Amino acid sequence: MRVRYKPSFRRDIRRIRDADLHRRIQRKITEIEAVATINEVSAIGRLRSESGNHYRVRIGEYRLGVLVEGDTVTLLRFSHRSDFYRRFP
């Protein structure tokens, strides 16, 4: 799948200081790029939204918010699970 990055996602990632977490995020992005459909990604769940195309990917205590449109995955947000569901979608 093709992966696009929103400025909000890039801003969220810049705030993370943990190098191990950065590596885990990169591994998850690589996994998303390698799969044919979004359902093949591990630790993914569909969120209730108007469009029905919003998903969250669990990375430990953090969540990665994505929007799926065809074969393109747009990375929208990344935050701690305590904040994630208030800000996404």
Residue 35 pLDDT greater than 90, yes or no: yes
The pair of structure tokens assigned to 46 is 């569909």
Q: Which of 44, 86, 80, 45 is nearest to 62 (CA)?
A: 80
At 49 the three-state DSSP class reads coil
Q: Look at residue 52 in the predicted model and tell me its pLDDT.
A: 85
For the stretch 39-66, pLDDT in tens is 999 999 999 988 789 999 999 999 999 9
Q: Quick one: pLDDT at residue 29?
A: 97
What pTM does this model have?
Answer: 0.92
Go through the domains of the chain in sequence order and give each one's CATH number. 2-87 (3.30.2310.20)
Which helix (DSSP H) or strand (DSSP E) does residue 72 occupy?
strand 72-80
Helix residue spans in 1-89 (DSSP H): 7-14, 19-34, 81-87
Residue 45's pLDDT is 95
Report which of residues 89 and 60 the model is more confident about: 60
- Residues forming beta bridges with residue 83, ordered by sequence position: none
CB-CB neighbours of 84 under 10 Å: 19
76 pLDDT above the threshold of 90: yes
Count Cβ atoms below 10 Å from residue 41 Cβ, excluding itself: 18
